[in-house]
Structure 1
Amino acid sequence: MNMHILLVEDDKQLQRQLVAQLSQFGHEVETADDGPAALSIVGQQAFDIIILDWMLPNIDGITVLRQLREAGMNLPILMLTALGQVFDKVEGFNAGADDYVVKPVDPLELNARLLALLRARRANEQPTDTISAGDIVISPSRLRAWRTGVALTLSQTEFKLLLELVRNAGTIMTRPMLIERIWGHDFVPATNIVEAHIRHLRVKLLEHGDDPISTQRGLGYMLRA
Structure 2
Amino acid sequence: MKSKTTLKFLTCALLSTGMCMNANAQSVENRQVNKAYWTSGIDGYVLSTAIDSRNIKPANSASVSTPRFTAFFHIGANVNYDITKHVGIFTGLSIKNIGFIEKYNNPDSTAKRRVYTFGIPLGFKFGNLKYGSFLIAGGGVDFPFNYKEKGFIDRGNKTKFNEWFSSRTPAVMPYFFIGAHLRPIVAVKLQYYPANFMNPNYSETVGNTTVKPYANYDVQLLMLTLGFDINYRPRS
Same fold (TM over 0.5): no
- Greater relative contact order structure (CA < 8 Å, 6+ sep): 2
The answer to which structure has the higher helix fraction is 1
- Which structure has the larger Rg? 2
* Pairwise TM-score range, normalised by the shorter structure: under 0.3
The answer to which structure has the higher strand fraction is 2
TM-score after normalising by structure 2: 0.22
